[in-house]
Structure 1
Amino acid sequence: MELFEKLYDEQENVKVRFVGFTTEHTRYDFGIVFTNMFFGKPLVVCMQTGRSTLLDPKDIEDIDHLQSVFRITDRQQAADLAEFFSVTIPSVHSYTQYE
């Protein structure tokens, strides 16, 4: 009996962008993986903490979500981060990932 049922095993060449920046109070270092997986949502990884999430424009507008996923206590810092992501992450075209 097999222990695991494989759901997917995909390979693709992806574009990755590494960006570091500072705001008035905080330094950020992110890796942004642009992939066709996950309905085209980029995978955003905080290089300092290892926390990651998939982000689309609606997620970026949700300041509470950004605070939660990246564990940011200051709302203004999360708003600064949202502003950065809004100009860095393109709009996602919705499509069906699994056919």
Structure 2
Amino acid sequence: MSHYERLYDESEKVKVRFVGFVSDHGRYDFGIIYTKMFFGKPLVVCMQTGRSSLLSQEDAENLEYLQRVYNLRTREEAEELSVFFRTNLPALTMESESEI
């Protein structure tokens, strides 16, 4: 057995939200896991593909990142998801990190 150094091993009760919606470009199903870990960024999981990322409102503005991480076919899909995420994910501030 190889040696490893444990970085963290935490347990917590978290809030999970499941959201499904249809747009002009497709159907989307996401699980949004709100946690105190990861600097307050929720873990957003695409339930169709299993792809996931830590996202905040600010991250959702990066269309190229959304397109790459969620394997979106078009920029229009990324724009639709960006609007959804910017209105449904928390903004990261010093105050919001303590409220999660």
Quote the residue 1:88 is aligned against: 88
2:59 corresponds to = 59
The percent identity for this pair of structures is 54
Whether the 8 Å CA contact 1:40–1:93 is kept in 2: the answer is: no
Q: How many residues align?
A: 96
Structure 2 spans left out of the alignment, 5+ residues: none
Code of the residue aligned with 1:19 in structure 2: it is V
- In the other structure, the counterpart of 2:19 is 19
Deviation at 1:24, TM superposition (A): 1.1
Aligned-residue offset at 1:2: 6.2
Check conservation: 1:39, 1:94, Cα contact below 8 A: no
TM-score calculated relative to the size of structure 1: 0.89
* C-alpha contact (below 8 Å) 1:51/1:69 kept by paired residues: yes
Question: How far apart in 1 are the matches of 2:60 and 2:67?
Answer: 11
Partners of 1:57 and 1:25 in 2: CA distance: 21
Once residues 56 and 84 of structure 1 are traced to their aligned partners in structure 2, the CA distance between those partners, rounded to angstroms, is: 12
Which residue is 1:9 aligned to?
Answer: 9
Whole-Å Cα distance in 2 between the matches of residues 58 and 93 of structure 1? Answer: 11
C-alpha distance in 2, partners of 1:75/1:58? 18
1:30 counterpart letter in structure 2: F
Q: Deviations over 1:30-74 (max 9, x none)?
A: 000000000000000000000000011221000000000001121
TM-score (norm 2): 0.88
Q: Identify unmatched segments of 5+ residues in structure 1.
A: none
4+ aligned runs moved over 4 Å, structure 1: none
Structure 1 residue 94: Cα displacement: 4.5
